[in-house]
């Protein structure tokens, strides 16, 4: 596979009218947008030079294109290497790079909390159209979500109380199609799992990341098969759009960290059960 120095990468990018510099490449390595280079020897007594492979060269061009054409921010660009790793593996973005990209995205998510309440019920009340919840409960639920998005600590008990009041029908049963229900508790479980995934950065283990990738791929396959049926649900079908690569790529960091959080919660539960059994 061909290898490229920083100077060569800059030249290739500029030839395609994509502004770049050696400083930008170094910065993007630190952020996880690009992998760390390999050191290539220059011959006896001549030292080494830093080089990137063909896949990283292509990744750089994609990132620069998103930045030029869409004005994409660094956190948004973090989804690109993470989505490559999720779909095609370490040859396109190794796990060491993914870890840095997730950490960069997570810092932004922590600062603005754009991801902490952004789950299946994103903008929940505006999209769910629940007629049974009182106006006061709807307003309080909106306020709690807005507080979380503004960076307030999550009061799980309070959020759970008003999520149930705002989302659940009078019968208390979960809403939505078979296999993909939504209830106040399911919504809050997702919020807490995503928060746990964010808390795990940057020290989440490689084993957890790889298991999360396996579950992510499985869940995407299942969703692609079930989506037409889910979308026909008269109540919540609008929450199940047809899968697109653009949607996948735009949400890769959030989706991966949600699954990481769910895995960690699952591990905590299993550990607690074992300890209780030993006691």
CB under 8 A, 24+ apart: contacts of 235-243: 235/175, 235/176, 236/128, 236/175, 236/176, 236/177, 236/182, 237/177, 238/127, 239/120, 239/121, 239/127, 239/176, 239/182, 240/177, 240/180
Percent of the chain residues past pLDDT 90, beyond the cut: 54
pLDDT > 70 fraction of the chain, expressed in percent and rounded? 87
Confidence of residue 263 (pLDDT cuts 50, 70, 90): very high
Instruction: Give the angle 122-224-205 at the CA atoms, nearest 5°.
Output: 70
Where are the chain's structural domains?
3-106, 124-278
Q: Give me the chain's average pLDDT, please.
A: 86
What spatial distance separates the first Cα and last Cα of the chain, rounded to whole Å? 56
CB 75, CB 62: distance < 8 Å: no
- C-alpha–C-alpha distance, residues 82 and 198, integer Å: 15
pLDDT, tens only, 128-170: 544 545 677 777 887 787 777 667 788 889 889 888 887 887 7
Give pTM, 2 decimals.
Answer: 0.86
Q: Token match 């579950």: residue?
A: 215
Specify the pLDDT at position 128. 52
Helix (H, G, I), strand (E, B) or coil at 150: coil
| Residue 3 DSSP SS3 | strand
Question: Comparing 128-137, 138-147, 205-214, 228-237, which segment has the lowest mean pLDDT?
Answer: 128-137
Hey, what are 212's tokens?
Answer: 């999360």
Q: Is the pLDDT of residue 121 over 50?
A: no
State residue 52 phi and psi, 5-degree precision. Answer: -120, 150
Listing DSSP states for 190-215 in one string gives HHHHHHHHHHTTTT--HHHHHHHHHH
Question: Which tokens sit at 46?
Answer: 């001549």
More confident residue, 169 or 200: 200
Q: How far is CA 213 from the centre of its chain?
A: 11
**Was domain 3-106 assigned CATH 1.10.1660?**
yes
212 Cα distance to chain centroid? 11
> Does the pLDDT value for residue 213 go beyond 50?
yes
DSSP 182: B
pLDDT at 112 over 70: no
Map residue 53 onto helix, strand or coil. strand
- pLDDT reported for residue 174: 76
Q: Average pLDDT, stretch 23-46?
A: 88
């Amino acid at each position: 596979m061909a290898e490229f120095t920083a100077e060569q990468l800059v030249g290739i990018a500029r030839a395609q009218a994509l502004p770049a510099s050696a400083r930008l490449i170094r910065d993007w390595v630190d952020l996880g947008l690009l992998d760390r280079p390999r050191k290539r020897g220059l011959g006896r007594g001549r030292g080494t030079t830093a080089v990137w492979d063909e896949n990283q060269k292509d990744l750089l061009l994609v990132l620069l294109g998103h930045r030029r054409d869409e004005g994409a921010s660094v956190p948004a660009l973090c989804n690109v290497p993470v989505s490559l790793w999720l779909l095609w593996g370490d040859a396109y973005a190794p796990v060491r790079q993914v870890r840095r990209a997730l950490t960069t995205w997570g810092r932004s998510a922590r600062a603005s909390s754009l991801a902490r309440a952004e789950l299946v019920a994103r903008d929940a009340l505006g999209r769910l159209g629940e007629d049974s919840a009182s106006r006061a409960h709807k307003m309080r639920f909106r306020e709690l979500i807005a507080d979380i998005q503004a960076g307030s600590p999550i009061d799980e008990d309070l959020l759970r109380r008003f999520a149930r009041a705002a989302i659940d029908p009078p019968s208390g049963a979960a809403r939505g199609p078979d296999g993909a229900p939504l209830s106040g508790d399911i919504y809050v479980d997702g919020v807490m799992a995503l928060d746990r995934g964010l808390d795990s950065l940057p020290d989440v283990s490689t084993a957890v990341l790889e298991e999360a990738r396996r579950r992510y791929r499985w869940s995407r396959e299942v969703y692609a098969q079930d989506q037409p049926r889910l979308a026909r649900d008269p109540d919540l079908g609008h929450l199940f759009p047809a899968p697109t690569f653009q949607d996948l790529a735009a949400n890769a960091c959030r989706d991966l960290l949600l699954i990481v959080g769910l895995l960690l919660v699952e591990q905590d539960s299993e550990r607690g059960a074992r300890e209780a059994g030993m006691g």
